Amino acid sequence: MTEERDGQVNASKTSGESVVVVGLGYVGLPLLVEMVRAGHRVIGLDRSAAVVDSLNAGRSHIDDVGDATIAEILAAGFRSTVDAACIAEADTVVVCVPTPLSRDGAPDLGAVEGVGRMLGERLTSDTLVVLESTTYPGTTEEFFQPLVEAGGLRVGENLCLAFSPERVDPGNRVYGIRNTPKVVGGVTTTCTQRAVDFYASFIDTVVSAKGTREAEMAKLLENTYRHINIALVNEMARFSHELGIDLWNVIDCAKTKPFGFQAFYPGPGVGGHCIPIDPNYLSHTVQARLHYPFRFVELAQEVNAGMPNYVARRIQDRLNDDGKAVRGSTVLLLGVTYKANIADERESPAVPLALKLEAMGADVRFHDPYVDVWNAAEHGDPQRLLKGEQNLSSALREADIVVLLQAHREYLDGALDGVGVFDTRGVLAGSEVVRL
């Protein structure tokens, strides 16, 4: 850890700061909206010229930020760019670039490394740098800090460095950036205080962590907790079906207990930018550094990753009950995003399910009010692009089996009344509905 040198870094430079947000996706864009509204002078930096041009023209590319909001922040002085020269003028730089898993399951820090090197070349004295990209404990100090110090500035002397895990929940209408508590941990106490002061200028509650590693671990604990509990109910769904037990009713009963229980629900698999990925950062770190497995995470991953295949087998069973084979049958998938009521398809379990059904010979079709064209191969293969069914009523009539994968509000307003549906989300009722 860098030696603390209190008083050498200005810890109160927060009012109306010049801020650069690196990465203008689902994390960076909603974050900078609140910064602009708080009076900060914000520049968005992204390597995608298409994203930058779209934002500067007043068009948003994510669900949670509409075009009207982009117009609002543009009028307040926001602009976006692909030119990293803006770093030199920043009081604060917030890094929100993606950290996916590589093919071998290790964290891919390529984007973080690229930004770190860019900052090392351009940072000026007395700048606060905050990494928000989810990663394994130790990344900020062991990996990122040497990169940002490459230009000669030193954390604790003339540079502040902190980690603050993103807690964005796309589509959540109750908790957004401002009212979701923000965890912050700095390399030094001065770094922590500088970051706390900055975030407190536009977020209601800021929580100080002991250091960067604790802040990094907090995010992994949050999502590992969810990952493992989802795996628990997914496994219970399998044997409950075999035992003739309605697990959905079981959960409804259990959640009446006012303490000691939190309801989790089964589904066709896990998706999104956090749950399928973040726990693996922790598992990989434990294995790489301590040389033993994090068995809870690995088992949860095995269970959750197996759900699309299990759903495919249940679909096969349903067709068999109707005297039909999977091969040649039309399977209509309703909702291919990873979460209800948004267009985000990242890591959606609909992808492996569709691939499995196609391998079994099914004619796979989909309907989703938020997705017009879907790449079910998830590898950019133009031959695998599927065009969504535009007319839900006719698509329902033509299908041999209808599978609800995502509980979009459009499917819950009576549109599926009287239709035989295999419901993987437990949200439909009626004699024609079969739940997971």
> With bands split at pLDDT 50, 70 and 90, how would you rate the model's confidence at 279?
confident
| pTM exceeds 0.85, yes or no | yes
In this prediction, residue 7 has a pLDDT band, given cuts at 50, 70 and 90, of very low
Q: Rounded CA gap, 231 and 212, in Å?
A: 29
Residue 400 reports pLDDT greater than 90:
yes
The upper half-sphere exposure of residue 43, i.e. CA atoms within 13 Å in the direction of its Cβ, equals 16
Cβ count near 370 (within 10 Å): 18
For the chain, the average pLDDT equals 91
pLDDT at 346: 85
Residue 360: other Cβ atoms inside 10 A: 18
Report percent pLDDT > 70 for the chain.
94
Return the C-alpha torsion angle 305, 242, 257, 266, nearest 10. 20
Residue 329 lies in a domain: yes
Q: Are residues 293 and 385 in the same domain?
A: yes
Check whether 379 has a pLDDT greater than 60: no
Give dist(CA 210, CA 382) in Å, integer.
48
Distance from C-alpha of 332 to C-alpha of 394, rounded to nearest angstrom: 11
Angle, helices 350-359/307-321, rounded to nearest 10 degrees: 50
Asked if residue 8 has pLDDT above 90, the reply is no
CA gap 409, 183 in Å, rounded: 32
Is residue 132 within 8 Å of residue 104, measured between CB atoms?
no
Domain-located, residue 340: yes
Same structural domain, 164 and 286? no
Cα(429)–Cα(22) distance, rounded to whole angstroms? Answer: 45
Q: How far apart are CA 6 and CA 156, in angstroms?
A: 8
**149 with 245, same domain?**
no
pLDDT higher for 11 or 339?
339
Residue 274 catalytic? yes
Catalytic residue among 86, 96, 191, 274: 274
pLDDT band at 10 (very low <50, low <70, confident <90, very high): very low
Rounded CA-CA distance 28/345 in Å is 18
Instruction: Choose the final residue of a domain: 210, 240, 270.
Output: 210
Kindly tell me if the per-residue pLDDT of 384 is higher than 70. no
Together in a domain, 365 and 248:
yes
Among 12-26, 229-243, 305-319, 336-350, the minimum mean pLDDT is found in 12-26
Residue 105 inside a domain? The answer is yes
- List, for residues 71-84, the tens digit of each pLDDT value: 999 999 999 999 99
Average pLDDT value for residue range 123-150: 96
Q: Using CA atoms of 148, 154, 160, 162 in order, give the dihedral in degrees to the nearest 10.
A: 50
In a domain, 226, yes or no: no
Domain CATH for 248: 3.40.50.720
Domain boundary pick from 210, 243, 259: 210
Residue 192 has pLDDT above 70, yes or no: yes
Look up the domain containing 50 and give its range. 18-210
Q: How many domains does the chain have?
A: 2
pLDDT tier at 13 (50, 70, 90 boundaries)?
A: very low
* Nearest-angstrom CA–CA distance, 11 and 193: 6
From 140-154, 313-327, 334-348, the region with the lowest mean pLDDT? 334-348
Q: Which of 285, 282, 292 is nearest to 224 (CA)?
A: 282
Same domain, 168 and 304: no
pLDDT digit string (tens) for 207-238?
999 999 999 999 999 999 999 999 999 999 99
Going by C-beta distance under 8 Å and a sequence separation of 6 or more, which residues neighbour residue 297? 224, 227, 228, 279, 280, 282, 283
Provide the CB-side half-sphere exposure for 40 (13 A, CA). Answer: 28
**223 within some domain:** no
The residue with greater pLDDT, 64 or 24, is 24
The pLDDT of residue 382: 55
Residue 309: pLDDT above 90? yes
Domain-located, residue 13: no
Categorize the per-residue pLDDT at 5 as very low, low, confident or very high, splitting at 50, 70 and 90.
very low
Of 161, 177, 210, the last residue of a domain is 210
Note whether 280 and 344 are same-domain residues.
Answer: yes
Query: Model confidence over 320-345: pLDDT tens digits?
Result: 999 999 999 999 999 999 999 999 88
**How many residues are recorded in the chain?**
436
| pLDDT over 90 (residue 206) | yes
CA distances from 292 to 287, 296, 298, 336 (A): 5, 12, 12, 36
What is the pLDDT, as a whole number, of residue 383? 57
Are 197 and 245 members of one domain? no
In a domain, 148, yes or no: yes
Distance from CA of residue 342 to its chain's centroid? 12
Q: Which residues have a Cβ under 8 Å from the Cβ of 198 and sit 6 or more positions away?
A: 14, 17, 92, 128, 130
| CB within 8 Å of 141: residues ≥ 6 apart | 1, 2, 161, 187, 212, 213
Question: Of the ranges 106-110, 115-119, 210-214, 362-366, which one carries the lowest mean pLDDT score?
Answer: 106-110
**Confidence grade of residue 272 (pLDDT, cut at 50, 70, 90):** confident
Q: What is the 3-state secondary structure (H, E, C) of 63-100?
A: CCCCHHHHHHHHHCCCEEECCHHHHHHCCEEEECCCCC
Which two three-digit tokens encode residue 166?
Answer: 């993103």
What is the per-residue pLDDT for 6? 38
Q: Is 95 part of any domain? A: yes
**What's the average model confidence in pLDDT over 166-177?**
89
Do 194 and 282 belong to one domain?
A: no
Query: Both 247 and 203 in a single domain?
Result: no
Residues 254 and 205 in one domain: no
